[in-house]
Amino acid sequence: MADTLFRSFKVLENAHIDQPKGFTAGGIHAGLRKSKLDFGWLYSEVPANAAGVYTQNTFQAAPLTVTQEALKDSNQLQAVVVNSANANSYTGEQGYQDALQMQQLTAEKIGIDSSLVAVASTGVIGEMLPMPVIKEAIARIGESKAAADFEHAILTTDTKTKHIAVEVEIDGKPITIAGAAKGSGMIHPNMATMLSFITTDAKVEEESLKQGLKQTTDQTFNRITVDGDCSTNDMVLVLANGIQQNEALQPQHPEWHRFMEAWQFVSRELAKMIARDGEGATKLIEVSIEGARSEREAAQMAKAVVGSSLVKTAIYGEDANWGRVISALGAGGVIFDKEGLSLAIGSEQIIKEGQLLPFHEPNCVEELVKDMVHLFIGLKDGTEKAIAWGCDLTYDYVQINASYRT
């Protein structure tokens, strides 16, 4: 397919995390999993300005500690190494030393300073990393030169890889922003249970990169939920290597908003891919709130609805039980004018400014059988809006998680 123009940027078809200039990635089967790829790496030709956001779970896994320490002083990274199948979480001092060793051995293999290496892990909590397997995997870095292998190696219960890239013109130069992510279960707003990596060949000022990541995460990755559980290993990293030599991007740059629009699109699409691929999910749910007093309140309400188990199961059953939406909205912790409430399931409006309309269940069911279900909620309290994404809750979710370790 041809590349697709979207607003001020172009969506690149079949593009991967290595699409920006100067990045390479790969992945191998190291033996952490029975047969699937389970160890990956991402590399930039030059040190890249970098920033990260991390899980709000108080049990942060050892790789997150090591990565945060790496970014603390220089705010730069040149490589990321990732393993799946084992989270290296709740593993004490030994787990921390193992993560440090992953960082050091990767640096030695590539020939860079260890402070330029980020470490990420995902998988089962409370089990020590099999370091002989990890050491052998690190020795094989460079064996694969396919970014698709990296995108497969980071998966756990995911059913598919998640990747996207866009191109946007900045200072007359073609700037590329790409992303790859994993996430399927233990997904909840305020950092979903996921790993996400963003790369760009743009030159971005350090502090602006941090602020840009916080903004995009708040409006994308922090707006998704699958099951209400927040993991110990969640992390989003962004690397900007500056190879395109544009004028350093920051909020005063005349094309900063163009760059941010493209970056937010990449993050939003990855977030939606994670929600759509929720464990056992059959439908993506999108909840839109308009007319709230603040974006924060709108986001809180949207997340309350999309995170409701009763809403999620009703949508799985294609049951037009709109009362569950109202109940979740009222329990979301935000006070709003009930007389100004409007509600629609897709194109079928159920409530208009506090008044219940004639209910046509077959029309609602037509909306609920779709792969993507839209819930629109209108308020009369202000002008702010927000969107959150989730998925239905199915029998398969229980089955997958009842036997996750076995």
Catalytic center residues: 193
Q: Which residues contact 48 (CB under 8 A, 6 or more apart)?
A: 76, 77, 78, 199, 239, 240, 241, 242
Compute CA 42 distance to the chain's CA centroid, rounded to the nearest angstrom. Answer: 17
Structural contact between residues 288 and 204, judged by C-beta atoms closer than 8 angstroms = no
Structural contact between residues 104 and 115, judged by C-beta atoms closer than 8 angstroms = no
* Other CB atoms within 10 A of residue 288 CB: 17
Distances (CA, A) of 3 to 30, 167, 177, 244: 35, 10, 14, 21
Helix (H) or strand (E) holding 116: none
According to DSSP, the β-strands at 195-200 and 117-121 are: unpaired
Helix (H) or strand (E) holding 354: none
45, two tokens:
């030709």
SS3 state of residue 351 = strand
Structural contact between residues 406 and 287, judged by C-beta atoms closer than 8 angstroms = no
Structural contact between residues 22 and 11, judged by C-beta atoms closer than 8 angstroms = no
Structural contact between residues 371 and 283, judged by C-beta atoms closer than 8 angstroms = yes
Q: Which residues pair with 376 in a beta bridge?
A: 288, 344
Q: Which residues pair with 179 in a beta bridge?
A: 164, 198
According to DSSP, the β-strands at 76-83 and 117-121 are: parallel
Structural contact between residues 177 and 246, judged by C-beta atoms closer than 8 angstroms = no
Q: Which residues pair with 290 in a beta bridge?
A: 378, 385
Distance, CA of 406 to CA of 201 (rounded, Å): 42
